[in-house]
Structure 1
Amino acid sequence: MLEHVQNTRCGRYSPSTLPFTTLSLQSHTSNVPTYQGFGEEYTPIVNNDEVFTIFVDVSYFNLIDLVVEVDGPFLCLEAKQESNNLRNFVERSYTSRWTLPTDVDQSAITSSFNDGRLTIKCPKKKETPLIIPIDVIHKNSN
């Protein structure tokens, strides 16, 4: 069974009216959603023991239009682009917010932009065992 989820800030679209992308969840094979846009399919979010990674198609935006920030437990992506000429005015905007896993090292988050795709990598904290020293207490013999 294939479920289609379409969600925008302005409302919900039916699968036949969504112009660019479809987010699908194939429950019989995987619980990881896949993103299909512009003829390509890839996994938008990877969450394993080492890293939490998000892949976003931002091909309509330039690098200077993008802002990635951490706000408490949330990772936020905002993009805004405006163009104006004598005949028309175009404004595009995109906003997404993801809840970060609690074991993400927020100071080590990186992002990269390549061919219209933004990749945000959030490494997980490496848990090292804390070794507690044992103090030896000698009794005074009086």
Structure 2
Amino acid sequence: MSLYPFFRPRTFSLMGEMMRDMARMERQFVPTIAAFDIPTATSEITNNDQKFAINLNVSQFKPEDLKINLDGRTLSIQGENEVKDEHGHSKKSFSRVIILPEDVDIGAVASNLSDDGRLSIEAPKKLAVQGRSIPITQTSIEQKPTE
């Protein structure tokens, strides 16, 4: 009979104790972290037959903290805000990258920032090329006399 199961090496139990202590500390700090105002930019995307639209809540950012770029069909929206005071330094940021659908008129993309901090980016859809009937005209081929 072996006594090994009863006398395990202490390194594993020390590691287990350390992991339990870390988990306990994490559980203690999670409610504190959740109490902070963590910046989120909630988004809503609309894609129907008339338009493609994106609405973002960016109320925690000033207009000068926002940047919108369109490179081909890639639309990128960024916000970055830094606050420094005598008590410390904080930084909030977000980034969204959206590939616009093929039927969006990228030349008509427009944005609007409301007073309550809602950023709207809209683009109309391109007019679909309607099919049409092409008439067939028949031309007669003149026969040449054979020699």
Counterpart of 1:74 in structure 2 is 74
Q: Map of 1:1-142 to 2, 5 A cutoff?
A: 44-114=44-114, 115-129=116-130, 136=137, 138-139=139-140, 141=142
SS of the residue corresponding to residue 107 of structure 2 reads: helix
Q: 1:112 offset after TM fit, Å?
A: 0.2
* Residues 21-41 of structure 1 deviation map (CA, whole Å, 9 limit, x = unaligned): 99xxxxxxxxxxxx6xxxxxx
AA in 1 matched with 2:127:
K
Contact 2:61 2:79 in 1 (8 A): yes
Contact 2:66 2:78 in 1 (8 A): yes
Structure (1 or 2) with the greater helix fraction: 2
Percentage of identical aligned residues: 30
Counterpart of 1:30 in structure 2 is none
Q: 1:117 offset after TM fit, Å?
A: 0.6
Regions of 4+ moved over 3 Å:
17-22, 130-142
Structure (1 or 2) with the greater strand fraction: 1
Residues 48, 20 of structure 1: alpha-carbon distance in 2 compared, 3 angstrom cutoff: farther
TM-score normalized by structure 1? 0.62
TM-score normalized by structure 2? 0.60
AA in 1 matched with 2:100:
L
Contact 2:113 2:119 in 1 (8 A): yes
SS of the residue corresponding to residue 44 of structure 1 reads: strand
Q: 1:69 offset after TM fit, Å?
A: 1.4
Q: Gaps (5+ residues) in structure 1? A: 1-16, 23-34, 36-42
Residues 72, 55 of structure 1: alpha-carbon distance in 2 compared, 3 angstrom cutoff: same
Contact 2:39 2:92 in 1 (8 A): no
Distance 1:45 1:20 in 2: 22
Q: 1:85 offset after TM fit, Å?
A: 2.8
Count residues in correspondence: 109
* Larger relative contact order, structure 1 or 2 (CA cutoff 8 Å, min sep 6): 2
Q: 1:75 offset after TM fit, Å?
A: 1.4
* Residues 3-60 of structure 1 deviation map (CA, whole Å, 9 limit, x = unaligned): xxxxxxxxxxxxxx596699xxxxxxxxxxxx6xxxxxxx811110111111100001
AA in 2 matched with 1:123:
P
